[in-house]
Structure 1
C-alpha cells in the first residue's frame, strides 16, 4: 500500500505499526521504495483482524492520496466464510469487495472436505490465455 504524502503522516503511521505489529500474525512495516513511503502488510490468518482493518483505514485518513489492496479471508464470517474479500483503498477511501479471482474458496483454492459439497470438483478451467489440452511452457529455471 502506497502513501501519497509523508512527513508527519509517516511518523504517526510508523508509531501505529510499532503498537500493533505481531510476529505471529503479521509482517507490517513502513518502507521507502522509489521515493515513496510504502506500508507493507503480510500475513496469513484464518479470520478478520479488526485492528489491522482499522489501521488500514487510518492510513487513508492520515495520507488521503494513498492506495492499495488488502485480501481478507475470514472463515468465521457467517455467510462469507467461503469468500476472499479485497479491502481496496483508493485516494484514502476504503471499501470492501468480493475477490472473484479467489472466490469461492472451495473449490477455487481448496478441495471440499470429506462430506462437504456435492463430490469432487470437476475439471478446472484452463488458466487465462491458455488453451485446453495444451501443456504450459517449461519453467526456464528448472526446465520442467
Structure 2
C-alpha cells in the first residue's frame, strides 16, 4: 500500500455569481488569496494568475502525507470569500476510508463545496490499473 494522495484542480475566482464583479473588490480578494497561497508553501503546483482579465487558481500534486497541503480547505476558503467562484478538484487518496478505490471530485459552485465520485475514473481498479496479483 503506497499511501499516496494525488490531486489536480482549478478555480475560476469571481466575487459573485452575477458575473458583474467590482474590480477593486475582486483585486482585494485575489491579493488576500495570493498571501494565503504563499503561506501554504506547497512544493507542488499551486498557481494564482490573471488570464484575460480574470483570476484563476491551478493546483496539482502527489503527496505521501494526507492534507499536505490542505487543498480542500483552500476551496472552502474561496467559497466563503468569493461565492461566485467555481471549480473542480479531482482527488485520488488510497487512504480515504470507504473511497480507497475511487477518484473523488470536490465541486465548488455558488459558495458551496461538495464531494462526488468521478464516474469516468472510478473504480480505480480495474479502470486505471490492473488488479494486484502475486
Does TM-score exceed 0.5, indicating one fold? yes
Distance 1:36 1:92 in 2: 18
Structure 1: runs of 5+ lacking an equivalent:
116-144
- Hey, what does 1:58 align to over in structure 2? 77
Deviations 1:15-58 (A, max 9, x none): 110011311xx210211112111011111236642721111110
State the TM-score, normalizing by the size of structure 2.
0.78
Find out whether 1:106 has 2:125 as its counterpart: yes
Mapped to 2, the partners of 1:83 and 1:94 lie a distance apart of 18
Secondary structure (helix, strand or coil) at the match of 1:81 reads: coil
Could you tell me how far apart the structure 1 residues matched to 2:63 and 2:132 are?
Answer: 20
Asked if 1:77 is matched to 2:96, the reply is yes
5+ residue gaps, structure 2: 1-10, 16-25
Runs of at least 4 residues of structure 1 off by over 6 A?
Answer: none
The alignment yields a C-alpha RMSD, in angstroms, of 1.6
What is the distance in 2 between the residues matched to 1:103 and 1:72?
11
Task: Please say which structure displays the higher CA radius of gyration.
Answer: 1
SS at match of 2:63: coil
Task: For 1:99 and 1:106, locate their aligned partners in 2 and report how far apart those are by CA, in whole Å.
Answer: 13
Inter-partner Cα distance in structure 2 for 1:72 and 1:47: 13
Higher share of residues assigned strand:
2
1:2 and 2:22 matched: no
CA distance in 1, matches of 2:119, 2:133: 25
* Aligned ranges 1:33-48 → 2 under 5 Å: 33-45=51-63, 48=66
Q: How many residues align?
A: 113
Distance 1:87 1:68 in 2: 8
Residue matched to 1:30: 48
